[in-house]
Amino acid sequence: MKTYAFERLYQDKQCWIAPAYVTVDAAGTITAVGSEAPDDGTPVEHHRGLVLPGFQNAHSHAFQYAMAGLAEFATRPDDDFWSWRTAMYDLALRVGPEQLEAIATMLYAEMVRHGYTAVAEFHYLHHDVDGRPYAEPALLSHCLMRAAARAGIHLTLVPMFYRLGGFDQPATAQQRRFLSPDTDAYLDLLAAVHKTAASFAHVTVGAGVHSLRAASRADIQFLLGEADLRGPLHLHIAEQTGEVAACEARWGQRPVAWLLDHVAVDARFHLVHATHVTEAEWRGMVKAGANAVICPSTEGNLGDGFFPIDDYHAAGGAWCIGTDSHVGLSPLEELRWLDYGRRLQRRRRNVMCPDVGADGGVEMVDRAFHGGRAAMGAAAQKGYFAVGTPFDAVLVDSDHPLLAVCEPDRLIATLIYAGDVTFIRTLFQAGTVRVENGRHREADAIRAAFSSALRALNSRGN
């Protein structure tokens, strides 16, 4: 047993404990949290700073980190998601297992440095470069699990079913590493991933369909219904106007409307992007209890559009954030741009405040925390640090000039709207210090392996 002592701990919406003491067991699980030190002789380790819950990154494609910043030149006058996807496919066809592990370890270590303690990996890179299953079917999933363990981040691995190349269209050769020939093959792959995950302490396995365009209607209804899959269910949906138009043309409905009408959507469903939704669709999501996974930096980078976050939030909709293609890795940036994007559309401020007197930063931290935990497959909990859960925390520098003279009820907004990675001093994952003085404890070795992988790929002109 060990007890950590802090200046302040953020336990719930505008609820600070000061001073704060958190006791953890050998596994890093919280056994006590409060404002009084234990009197049982447990050793106390003091840390100066403000403790916040670790952030949840609910959407990641790890291999895409290798191409961050490389698609920012015009290939045609109307560059959009679809032209970016061509560059992504080129990378996907060249990444090997060792390279994937090195890239993912670097990415996850950087996530940790920026304040994330959990990530949901939306994983569809399953097979070898020729499209054949590996002798170890879950090999690339195994690489991601090892990467997360080394970086020190909770991993929810979500292997994706991917069979088609568009609505009722065959897959292309460029997609060969993603494909399952049928639902039985996917379920076999999923079983192999579960078996591999059993040897990792901080891995949860989910399931899902890559997108409506990547599967048949029968596939989707079976996998997201009759198959009774375990864990959280993730899928991309309505990210692009072209996708919406194709769905209407082929299936007679918009994507979210079709899903709500043909699948028993509930709180296990995590709809990634859902950018182009009508009011009826987003209200249907709220009624069903579905969780929207919004990725502002990637959606901005790809020119996707804006999710109606203010109305959805005010209606009580569940949501969380993800970094997707990893052009941005700061949860603070994701949250404020989620807000700023809607401000630009509305041409007014504080759109995330459902009532007069509400605090936009407080609102977003709370909703993103609970929605993020749901996306990870974690149980709902009251407060941010609950007995029986891992001690996952970000220690913020209380001596920063903006925070040192700040009233407690303005600390969260200051961090969200004016903060960056330099505000983060230490990160704990399951009670273990992973980042100290703003630096990951294994930064040098992880970076060396990452650099070697990128040189081997020769994707950055090196």
According to DSSP, the residues that pair with 20 across neighbouring strands are 6
Q: Are strands 424-429 and 432-436 parallel, antiparallel or unpaired?
A: antiparallel
- Does 80 participate in catalysis according to the annotation? no
Cβ pair 326, 302 in contact under 8 A: no
* Phi/psi of residue 356, nearest 5 degrees: -60, 130
Please pick, among 304, 310, 324, 359, the residue that the annotation labels catalytic: 324
Please pick, among 114, 127, 194, 273, the residue that the annotation labels catalytic: 273
Cα dihedral 391, 397, 403, 404 in deg (nearest 10) = 120
Residue 20 neighbours by CB under 8 Å, 6+ apart: 5, 6, 7, 8, 9, 33, 34, 35, 51
CA–CA gap between residue 371 and residue 368 (Å, rounded): 5
- Give residue for tokens 């995330």: 352
> What is the per-residue burial (b if ≥16 Cβ within 10 Å, else e) of 135-148?
eebbbbbbbbbbbb
- Does 79 participate in catalysis according to the annotation? no
Task: Calculate the alpha carbon distances from 367 to 43, 336, 374, 377 in Å.
Answer: 34, 13, 11, 16
**Which residues are annotated as catalytic?**
273, 324
